[in-house]
Structure formats: C-alpha cells, structure tokens
Structure 1
Amino acid sequence: MRIINYGLMLGLLAACSGQARAEDNVTSEIQALNARLKQLQQRVDSEARRTRQVEAAQSKAVAMPATYKALPVDPCAAGKICYKGITLTFGGWVDLTGIYRSRNIASDTGSVLNFIPYQQSHNYYFPETRFSARQSRFSVLAEGNADPETHLAGYGEIDFEGAAQTANSVATNSFNPRMRQLSLEIDRTDLGLHFLAGQSWSLNAPVKAGIDPRGVDAPGVIDFESVPGFLAARQPGLRVWQDIGPEFKLAASVENPQTSFFGGNTPTVGTPAIGPQGVLNPNLQVNLTGPGGSFFNNLNNVSLNQVPDVTVKAAWDPRLGPTKLHVEAWGLYRQLFDRFNGANHTYDTGSFGGHVFAELVPKTLDLQLYGAHGVLGRFTATPFPDAAVAQDGTVLPLTITSAAVGLIWHATPSLDVYSYAGLEKAKANFANVGTVPFGYGNPLYNNTGCFTENTPAATCNGNTREVRQITAGIYDTIYQGNYGTLKAGVQYSYTQRLAFDGVGGAPKTDDNIVMTQIRYYPF
C-alpha cells in the first residue's frame, strides 16, 4: 500500500513537472514573438522616416530653381562653384607668345597690317623680335534661374592688351588689364526669347552655332589681329534674338557707333595723314579731341555720332546627323557724321556679310568661310578707315570687300593643323579742288618717295588698297588632366600690303611673321 502511495505521488509530481515545462515553453514562444514584432515595428518606423525625408526633399526641390531640380543631391557639376543658387564657371589661360617679323611694325601680339612699312621707312630694313604675356585672359560666367522659365547669366572677361601711357617694355612691362566683355543675358525658355545688355562681340561677328552672345568663331591663329577677311569688334549695346524652331534664329542689335575718318583731323591708326591737311577748313569737325574729362583717355578721340549701329542677323543650324553645319547672314546700318561751316553732314550706309562653319569630315576636318562688303573699315584686321572727307566737309565713305577661308585638320585627338587665306580690299573715294587732291586712293597723291629710304614723308602717301595673307600653323595639346591643359603652337604667315596708284607709281610691301605660343588652361 505504501508502495502504491509512493507511486501515485511520483506520478503526480511528474505530471506537475510536465505541465510546468509546457507553460515555460509557451512563455518563451510568446516572448520571442514579441521581440520579432518589435523588430518589425522598428523597420516600419524606419521606412516611414525615410519616406518622409524623400517627400520633404522632393517638395523642397519643387520650390528651388531648375538647376537644383536636375541635381537635388549635389547641384554643382565638376569644375564649377555654386553659391546661393548661382553657378560660377571660371575660364581663361596663362599665355606666352613669341613674335618675329621681317619688317619692324612695332606691334605686340597683334600685327597691325597697315603698319607694314614701305621702302621709304627705316623700319622696312630690320626685323623685330619680342615676347609677350599679354594675351593671358581670365573670365567668369555666373548663371542662375529666377524661375523655371527664366535663366539669367552674367559674363565678364579681361585680358592684358591695355596700354596706358605708363605701360612700357623697358623695365616692369606693366601693361594694364582691360575689359573685353561684360554683359547680362536673360533667356525665356518658354518663349524662345533672349536679351543681352552690355559689352560683347558685335552681332556681325561670326559664331559657330546659333546666336552665341559670348563666343566668336575666329580663325584659330596665334596673331591677335587674326586674319584679313575676319571682321569683328566688341561694343556695348543691346541685343534681342528669337528661336524660330530648333534650327533657325533671328537677332537684332543696337550698338555703340564710332567712325574712323581718314584725311580729317584724326587719320586712322596706322595710316599717314594723306593730302594737303593745311587746306582743310578749320570749321570742319569730325570728332571730339582729348575728351579726358569725360572718363576717356585724353589722347584718344571720339567721333561724332547721333544714332547707334543697327544690325540684323539670321542663323541656321540644320540637323545633318553627326555633321555640324552653321550658316549665318547679317546686315548692318551705320550713319557717318561731321559738321562743316555751321551745318551737319550725314551719310547713311548699309553693309552685309555672312559666315559658314562646316564639318567636312566629322571630328576630323573643319571649314570656315567669311565674307563681307560695305562700309566696314573699323571692323577690319588691316585696319582700313571708314571714310574720308572732302574739302567742303562732304563725307566720302570707303567701301570694303573682305573674304577669308580656313581649313582645320584634327590630325590626332591632341594635334590640330590649320591654314588660312584672306584679303581685305578698299574702293577709292576722293574729290579734288582744282588740282588739290582730297579723299582716299586719290591718283594725284605723291608716291614718288615710297621706294627710297629716308625720303620726306610728304613724298610717300601710298594709301593701302589691299591686304592679302596666307598663314599656316600647328597646335598641340601637350598635357590634359586633373591639373588643367597645356597647349603649344607655332605659326607662319606671309602678308602683302598693296597701295593705290599715285604720282610715281603704286608701292607695295610685305612681311614674314613667325609666332610661337604656350598656353596653360587651369580651368
């Protein structure tokens, strides 16, 4: 009986123990489930926070300019600086140019071709050699968006081609910076409408695509005066242009006018004062002399002008697959002005021109064509005057015909080989009072002394009729990487200066020019 009681007691204890273990297992499972639920809840909360952050960033991007929409995480592209919604792009280079000319024209990096001397001058008989760092340049472009459809851009560019009276080549070579471009551009993408205010390349200057407000498709030569046949200037003014479809643009501008007179009070730079200046009536005025009190250099003259230069231009960029083609044509209105014997004289002129840039072989061979005709003297590389004056104050405009062609061979990804040929030609315009000659290209002018060294200046009046040039060069990229780009080139040009026929004949001269260049582009 006692054994039975012990058995019952052991069975009861075993049952209680099994029940306790079962209850412990259930409790553990519940605790594990609770822990799992807590982990899941943490994940849900984390995903919810991430979703709220993304929605907040997207909402902020909608309120920001379009520049930030494209790159909500990092709006600045490589090589740019962003500040308060403005993107800054720096440009420019450090330059050293070497110059050799067979005739001494006392010019720096730009060869003023109307200075090439005749045999009458000592300078005809000895060359010149110099180095110059003055083509070094610095630029900055600031861009931002006032709203998704309105883009603003400010651009400034300087070089060191300024030459104040304190600048010289004797000791410190302290040539001063000068403003090349300084402009504001406003673009309305919804309207395809663009505005420019400030100083920029004149609208008749050629570009490589569309209506480029800041660039110019200049011949890729080292000489700062470029190639005869390439016409350009930088002037303050206003410009507006309209996109008409994806390929066509139409533009108009009003720009600061200036007239370069010959044979008046101030001959064109590089051209001697031709004609009997003593008989020009003192009541004739073509410019304002020494306007230093008006923030001009008192050694410079400012012509009389009452209306701005007006230019219209059309540009066409057809889509030809991988081949690029740009065609443009322009027309220019200018008014020439002088005052004589209490009366104003005006002469309205019209000029026209065009430009073609074409990839003959994509990424391998490029073609540049330039052409113009009209009263364009101040835009020329020679440079020619715009007009002469008669003894009675009549304005005598000078018509210029110019043309140039260039081929650029991209021989390797780093090496370019180029060649250009160009000319600028003037049409004579003159008047006589009896046997007293006036004007430009007058056959009565005395050229007898142009062929003999050291003859009096009055016996060598040969007005430039035409300037021709052929040039060729190479330009190589020596280094391109994280520290910028280093390039170097060498160029040769042969130039002829031909004069109008006068008493004693038609003088002519030439110049052989070799230039070298090293440029470092840090940006």
Structure 2
Amino acid sequence: MLLSAGPALAEDDASELRALKARLKQLEQKMETQARKEEALAARQNAIQNAQMTAKAPVPFDPCASGKLCYKGVTFTFGGWVDLTGIYRSRNLASDSGSVYNFIPFPQSKNYNTGESRFTARQTRFSVLAEANATENIHVAGYGELDFEGAAQTANSVATNSFNPRLRQASIEIDRSDLGLHVLAGQSWSLNTPSKAGIDPRGADTPGVIDFELVPGFLGARQPGVRVWQDIGPEFRLAVSAENPQTSFFGGNNPLVGTPAVGPQGVLNPNLLFNLTGPGGSFFNSLNNVSLNHVPDFTVKGAWDPRLGPYKLHVEAWALYRDFYDRFNFANHDVNTVSFGGHLSAEIVPKLLEVQASASYGALGRFTATPFPDATVRQDGSIQPLPITAFLVGSVWHTTPSLDLYAYAGLEKTKATFSNVGTVPFGYGNPLYNNLGCNIENSPAATCNGNTSEVRQYTAGFYDTIFKGSYGTIKAGAQYSYTQRFAFQGVGGAPKTDDHIVMTQIRYYPF
C-alpha cells in the first residue's frame, strides 16, 4: 500500500505544481497587459503636456531660415511689392490711389459732372525686418517700410511722375520671452488700429481693398510713439502707448488743418491760433501746418486670442485719451476727450471664410477714412470736440487656393456741434449755414457750406494669384465701390452726393 501510495502522491504534487505555474503565468500576462496600458496612458499624457507646452511656447527664432539673408548674427527679411493701379471715378476728385471721401463734390462743383481716370505706381512698397537674439531671452527686431505716396511741391503727373518716397514705418522692438514683456519705440501703426492677432505693431487687419483710403469705418494712423505690452497667459495681451498728437480742426468750410477761419468769413481771425506753419529749416513743408498740442495721445488696449480648435478668433477693445489745444484773445483753451472702440476677426470656416467687424465712438476725426475733423471752436475760442460713430463689417471668401472674393460695408457719421452769436453761426453742421447753391452748378462758393454728416460705402472685389513660384508671386484684382456723402441740413436743404469708383491692380511680390 505504501509503495502504491508513493507514485500517486508524486503525481498529485506534479499536477498542483503545473496548476500553480499556469496561474503564475496568467498573473504575469495580466501584469504585462496592465503595464502596457499604464505605459500607453503615460505616453498619451506626455504627448498632451508636450503639445500644450509647444502651443504656449513662442515659435523659436531661426537665425538663418531659407530665403533670408544673414549678416553678423542679424537676419534680414525683405518684403514689399511692385504695383500698378488703375483708377476710374464718376466724380473727379483730382486724387491718386486714395479717394478723399469728404471731398466728393456736390452738383455745385463743375467736377461733379466730370469723370476721372488715371494709372499710378505709387502704391509700390518696400520693407525690411532685421532680427537678432541679444541673449537667450532677449529678442531684438528693427523694421522699416516705405512707399511712394509722398507728394512734394515738385511732384507732378505731366512728364516724369517723380513722386518721392515716404516713410511709413520705422521702429525697434525688444522682446523678453522669459517675462512675456515687449517694448516698441518708433513710427508704427497706432495702437487703436485693429490687428489680426495679438498686439501687432507692424501689421494691421486692414480691409483687403485696392483704394488706398480703405473703407469708411476703418480707423487707423501711423505715427511715432512708445508702446509697451504684456503677455498674460497664452491668450491675452494688455498694451499701453504714448503717441504723437495732432488735431484736425474745422476751419470755416475746410475740415482739414490748414485754414484758421472758424465760422463764415473767418469771424475769429486774426486772434485765433490753433496751428502753425513751420518756418524755413524746421524740416516741415512750408505749406503744411502743425496743430498746437502739449500732451501725447494715450491708448490702452486688450487683445484676446482664444483657442477654439481649428477656428481662429481675435477680439480686442481699446480706449484713447486725447487733448485739444488752442489760443484765443490772450488765453489758452484745451479740452480732454476719451474715445473707445473694438474689433473682431474670425474664421467662420477654417481656411475658407473670414469675417471682420469694427465699431468705435469719440473724437476720432484724424483716424477716419472720410476724413472728419476732430473739433471745432466756439465764439469765445473754447473747443468743441466732434463725436464720430464708425462701423465696418467685411468678409473674404477663399474660393480656391488662388482666388479670393471680398465685400465690405462701412459708415462714418458725426453730430452737429455748433453755437451762434446773434445771427452769426459758429461750429459744425450749423442749420444757419447756407446750402442754397449746393445743387446749382457754378453757383458762388459761399452758398454751399455742405458740412458732411455721414459717409457710407459698399465695396466688392476679387484678387487672383496668376503665377507663384521660386521667383515670387504675381497677383491681379479689381473692385467696385459705391460711396455716398450726406451733409447737414442748412438754409436751402441737406445736400448729398455719391461716387462710383472702379479700381484695378496688378502686383509682383518678389519676396
């Protein structure tokens, strides 16, 4: 019995050992599976963290990328284009590539019934961006840009068309990547000019039209100043600037700086001073006036670029402080104003449909496309700012990789701001101003004051890429715009006028 029991016990032990080994192998397989799951989860978490870090981190500066020129540690990027623009206007403005909407003539003017046609190459533009890393965390950039829209007294369209170059931008920018801090000094787009992303001093979200005056409702200027902005997280930026001030006063019937008369026949002359003509050697053109200003323009702006998957969205809001200044009858007068506005730029359909919209309100005449005056003067020499309301909406449809269609609508309007001394009218939009001759050709100029109350415009066009390669890009486009100018009610009614404008353009982008 003992002998027969021995092999049985040995066989049971072997079976139990095999069972234990099988269970151990199952446990090992489960542990390996769990380890693989944990590794995959960790890898996925690391990938998400790396993607987030990459999204938050700025794009590294390539010191010598393809297509750029490098010299002594500085990288140069060239830009610009060669341009030819064709222009037709149904009302003759005697203007080049920019339409001065506030001077569309009423029927009183002989040029109301004469068309205007010309070619111009003056929108040709050149730019250069110089960049370098001063330290690991300090990036320095210098930018310069010019075109040929300047017109000295020797410039003409008769024989040589010798129009002089004009400074558009010249600035230096210093960026601290470790602090998210940026400083700019020089001439650039004003801070209240809309950007397409973040705080961009060198670019602007301008309507993509051919007319150099863009579209009513778009506010912008280029002027010297200092700007500081801070990155607050990956999506929000806050900026403040101090910029060169100028004031466009309404003088008589002339809304541009340059006519010292206020009210009919210049009632306040010669005791009123609100601008000066530069003397010889002042480095200002002797035919241009400089307004009296003693406080810079101050602007604060916030920009938000939220992350919405494949969709791009940019929202910004700003406030502008200005001070207007004059002297009358041995006393100085000044007034402070605050204006505000906002802008939105978005991709409705990624890489296919873009929209933009802007709205603003305040004493913003010098920034408008019309242009409107900033202020007028009361009979005692005190200053009355002119409030401007401006709206713009537009869209660009990228129908194919080479063809873009665009459409914009905008308006700029102001309120009547006036006062009287007895029967003598002062101010802007005064109902006592004489408009009797505005609709009668060649009537005396004094019978058509016609202070502009509102300008509206509707614009549509296309831009097509004809050739594109290592040699650069050639594009061509055409647009049509319909502009209406309305005047305030005066003696004889409220005159209005309009202009049909057709423009064509061909550009070569060599860079």
* TM-score, L = length of structure 2: 0.87
- Which amino acid in the other structure matches residue 479 of structure 2? Q
What residue in structure 2 maps to residue 248 of structure 1?
236
Per-residue CA deviation, residues 250-291 of structure 1 (Å, 9 max, x unaligned), is: 000000000000126974169997732342142211011244
CA contact (8 A) 2:319 2:339 kept: yes
Post-superposition offset of 1:390:
1.6
SS of equivalent to 1:120: coil
1:139 alignment partner AA: S
2-structure distance, mates of 1:273, 1:130:
34
Q: 1:243 to 1:70 in 2, by over 3 A?
A: closer
| Mapped contact 2:87–2:97 kept (Cα < 8 A) | yes
Residue type of the alignment partner of 1:341:
N
Q: Please name the residue that 1:22 is paired with.
A: none
d(CA) in 2 for partners of 1:265, 1:372: 25
Q: Which amino acid aligns with 2:135?
A: D
Q: Could you tell me which of 174, 177, 185 is aligned with 1:197?
A: 185
**Contact preservation (8 Å) 2:317, 2:342:** yes
| Structure 1 counterpart of 2:70, one-letter code | C
Equivalent runs, 1:34-433 vs 2, <5 Å: 75-263=63-251, 267-268=255-256, 275-433=263-421
Which one has the largest radius of gyration? 1
Separation (CA, whole Å) in 2 of partners of 1:392 and 1:274: 11
Unpaired segments ≥5 residues, structure 2? 1-57
**Residues 238, 255 of structure 1: 8 Å contact kept:** yes
Q: Give a deviation string over 1:413-435, Cα, whole Å, max 9, x none.
A: 00000000000001111110101
1:459 aligns with 2:440: no
Asked if the contact 2:252–2:259 (Cα under 8 Å) also holds between the matched residues in 1, the reply is no
Q: Is the 8 A contact 1:210 1:249 kept in 2?
A: yes
Q: In structure 2, what is the Cα distance between the partners aligned to 1:110 and 1:305?
A: 27
Opposite residue 148 of structure 1, the aligned amino acid is E
Measure, in 2, the Cα distance between the counterparts of 1:287 and 1:200: 24
d(CA) in 1 for partners of 2:176, 2:273: 45
Shift of 1:391: 2.0
Matched to 1:286, the amino acid is F
Q: Is the 8 A contact 1:115 1:270 kept in 2?
A: no
CA distance in 2 between partners of 1:359 and 1:179 (Å): 33
* Contact 1:263–1:277, Cα closer than 8 Å, also in 2: no
Q: CA deviation at 1:509?
A: 0.1
* % same residue: 77
When the two structures are superposed, what TM-score results if normalisation uses the length of structure 1?
0.85
Q: Whole-Å Cα distance in 1 between the matches of residues 470 and 259 of structure 2?
A: 48
Shift of 1:213: 1.5
**Counterpart residue type for residue 176 of structure 2:** R
Checking the alignment, whether the CA contact within 8 Å between 1:291 and 1:301 is kept in structure 2 is: no
Quick one: which amino acid aligns to residue 303 of structure 1?
S
AA matched with 1:262: F
Structure 1 counterpart of 2:9: none
Q: Distance in 1 between matches of 2:306 and 2:266?
A: 57
For 1:267 and 1:398, how far apart are their aligned partners in 2? 11
- The one-character-per-residue Cα deviations of 1:136-177 (angstroms, maximum 9, x if unpaired) are 000000000110000000000000000000000000000000
Aligned pair 1:481/2:481, yes or no?
A: no
C-alpha distance in 2, partners of 1:269/1:343?
A: 21
Alignment deviations for residues 229-261 of structure 1 (CA, whole Å, 9 cap, x no partner) = 000000100000000000000000000000000
Letter of the 2:443 partner, please give it: T
> Given the superposition, is the C-alpha separation of residues 333 and 467 from structure 1 closer, same or farther in structure 2, using an over 3 Å criterion?
same
> Which amino acid counterpart does residue 211 of structure 1 have in structure 2?
I
1:39-58 deviations in whole A, cap 9, x for unaligned?
xxxxxxxxxxxxxxxxxxxx
Per the alignment, residue 517 of structure 1 pairs with 505
Equivalent residue, structure 2, for 1:500: 488
C-alpha contact 1:152 1:185 (8 A) present in aligned 2: yes
Post-superposition Cα deviations, 1:107-131, rounded to whole Å, max 9, x if no partner, equal 1000000110000000000100000
Q: Is the 8 A contact 1:139 1:155 kept in 2?
A: yes
Aligned-partner Cα distance in 2 for 1:462–1:108: 24
Q: How large is the RMSD of aligned CA atoms in angstroms?
A: 1.7
Structure 2 Cα separation of the partners of residues 422 and 285 of structure 1: 35
